[in-house]
Amino acid sequence: MRLKVNGQEVEVQEGTLLLEITDPPHLCYHPHTETRGLCRLCLVEVDGRLLPACATQAQEGMEVRTDTEDLRILRRTLLEWLALTTDLSQAPSLLELLKVHQGQPQRWGSVSLSRREREPIRDNPFFLRDYAKCVNCRRCVDACGDGIMGVYALTLEGRGLMAHPTTPLDLR
């Protein structure tokens, strides 16, 4: 099937995700897990609508744009909020994306709800759960569930900025 990506005609197989042919930034997508479209960094413009590239299959005749001014502003804002609420010191690729998109998280002031203040949980000699550094991509939750392992050792708790992976019933 044929479609246009940034004005260039592209031919792809049926079932191909837009992410596979456009390569926008993304956090939550992994080919072996079920999370799709959660982080919103991979949004692309398709026929005037914003759609997550990781959850949208290419269709005949689509016109896809990956680098519009609106998309740049959206990505910058998403990255700024992530940097404002999360310790990204161990995420050099996200810090680089923030720099590329000219993000300035400080322009939003301070946020009262933040994962940055959470203390690491050291309840296991093999794992350190540091939610201050968690970007909420949810890949660990999916990997423990249906995605890969099938053991359901992690779940998501909380809402909005305070959402985070944890053990079921927050058991240690």
Q: What is the pLDDT of residues 37-92, one digit of tens each?
A: 888 999 999 988 999 999 999 999 999 999 999 999 999 999 999 998 888 998 99
Q: Are 148 and 160 in contact (CB under 8 A)?
A: no
Highest averaged pLDDT of the listed ranges 66-80, 103-117, 138-152: 66-80
- Contact (Cβ atoms closer than 8 angstroms) between residue 38 and residue 93: no
Place 113 in a pLDDT band, splitting at 50, 70 and 90: low
How confident is residue 172, by pLDDT bands cut at 50, 70 and 90?
low
Nearest 5°: the CA angle 86, 90, 94 is 70
